[in-house]
Amino acid sequence: MALFRVSSNKIAELNQILPLANLAVRNLTDASTDLKHVLAQKIPKEQERIKAFRKEHGNTKVGEVTVDMIYGGMRGIKGLVCETSVLDADEGIRFRGYSIPECQKILPKAAGGAEPLPEGLFWLLVTGEVPTDAQVAALSKEWAKRAELPAHVASLLNNFPSTLHPMSQFSCAVTALNTESKFLKAYTAGVHKAKYWEYVYEDSLDLIAKIPVVAATIYNNQFRNSKSLAPIDPNSDWSANFSKMLGFTDPQFIELMRLYLTIHSDHEGGNVSAHTVHLVGSALSDPYLSFAAGLNGLAGPLHGLANQEVLNWLNKLASEIGVDASEDQIKEYVWKTLKSGQVVPGYGHAVLRKTDPRYTCQREFALKHLPNDPLFKLVSNVFKVVPNILLETGKVKNPWPNVDAHSGVLLQYYNLKETNYYTVLFGVSRALGVLASLIWSRALGLPLERPKSMSTDGLMKAVGYTK
């Protein structure tokens, strides 16, 4: 049974919306608005809990590995610990036990807003507790305070050629930010490993605070004639500040950003970006280097870049056939894509086997705010035809849409049109999940990751294959 702690004023609300069979709700353990303090209380208890568990079950088997799993990208192999979220193939992601609709209900919102603040999600991911409004406000302030970039990173960003993809600019800038790493300095000075997590925590907060500035600088340099950034408002939230730095002040767009930055944050531990950050971090590379490595993985078209690919694919469809293409015309276009050896971007998933709830909540946002948008209608019509076609191919394990099938159309509606920027937004959000995990990886003293690989000859020998 999972134990999650929430503030007392949330409990009545929770009792109404959550199926409590699997959820024991407890009072907030600590009302402090200092996240590091709250975390510091939890870590020793969690270390002890895991120690006792491993003592009793260290040799208990939890699965089997087949030859196909080894050749098949390790699908289904249980080989990682990730505390922040768990992905159920049918139900989708749960952040510390809470589904996306539940998070939309229980996490604190901005005044007058309806979508969760990503600060609250981060607090939840780090502590397992639903934060109070005051805790979330403290985090907004903390991130605003830490946002400034060192001069060499600003200058690096300002000197990138416009031909360099925004994701490459993003990962270069994050790598160069490691001049600021407190973990690196502490490690070099010989700090005891029991204290590693504290420095990873500090770096993570600094990094989360600074990446919207990095991301907005990339956007303004590339698409707004190097316009200078709107100043950070210390009384505003992370998403509102980010949106304004990008030049978007429409309150609805800011709400979209709050939702967007919440739902793209975490997808358990095995996806390319999360796993990469964990892997690189396990070598005790600092959080900047680890996160930059994860961004490079996110920049792949089968992972985060799919959101750019979807929009380009939809735009091409609209320009070739028309945005009001009929279902038959869309079918023909999908088959053309498949026959040319391409994937249909935004569909399929390595773990999920149903429609991604991240797709569904974005669809609900669209139904509420832009129900008559022609591109949204096209996305809806694509949804009607693609799953059956993918099923017809006989090989696609999950024919349903994922998060990337929907995100771009919302951005287009609010005039964020530059598709090659979309994955940067994903990256800003992904920092919340992977850095929350990185803090815990060091808190739990997880070792250098080093799975065993085998040659084909070695594998054949191991299973007695002699042909």
Ligand X SMILES: CC(C)(COP(=O)(O)OP(=O)(O)OC[C@H]1O[C@@H](n2cnc3c(N)ncnc32)[C@H](O)[C@@H]1OP(=O)(O)O)[C@@H](O)C(=O)NCCC(=O)NCCS
**Residue showing the smallest CB distance to ligand X in the complex:** 348
* Minimum distance, C-beta of residue 383 to ligand X, in the bound complex (Å): 13
**Residue 25 in contact with ligand X, rule: CB under 6 A:** no
Q: Which of residues 164-203 bind ligand X (CB under 6 A)?
A: none
* Minimum distance, C-beta of residue 411 to ligand X, in the bound complex (Å): 16
**Residue 348 in contact with ligand X, rule: CB under 6 A:** yes
Q: Cα separation of 59 and 43, whole Å?
A: 24
**Binding window for ligand X (CB under 6 A); candidates: 120-128, 394-402, 414-422, 458-466:** 394-402
Neighbours of 446 (CB within 10 A): 16
Q: Which of residues 371-390 bind ligand X (CB under 6 A)?
A: 390
Residue in 404, 435, 436, 440 binding ligand X, rule: CB under 6 A? 404
Collect all residues with Cβ–Cβ distance below 8 Å to 429 and sequence separation of at least 6: 118, 260, 261, 262, 263, 264, 265
> Please, which residue, 395 or 450, has the CB nearer to ligand X?
395
Residue in 7, 84, 402, 441 binding ligand X, rule: CB under 6 A? 402
Collect all residues with Cβ–Cβ distance below 8 Å to 434 and sequence separation of at least 6: 266, 273, 274, 277, 278, 290, 291, 294
Residue in 218, 344, 385, 411 binding ligand X, rule: CB under 6 A? 344
Burial class (CB in 10 A: 0-12, 13-18, 19+), 20: exposed
Residue in 131, 212, 297, 346 binding ligand X, rule: CB under 6 A? 346
3-state secondary structure of 129: strand
* Minimum distance, C-beta of residue 122 to ligand X, in the bound complex (Å): 21
H or E stretch covering 93? strand 92-95
**Residue 266 in contact with ligand X, rule: CB under 6 A:** no
Neighbours of 444 (CB within 10 A): 16
Q: Are 280 and 293 in contact (CB under 8 A)?
A: yes
Strand pairing partners for 116?
109
Per-residue x/- track, 299-338, ligand X (CB under 6 A): ---x---x-------------------------------x
Cα distances (Å, whole numbers) of residue 69 to 89, 276, 302: 17, 19, 19
* Minimum distance, C-beta of residue 315 to ligand X, in the bound complex (Å): 16
Q: Total number of residues binding ligand X (CB under 6 A)?
A: 19
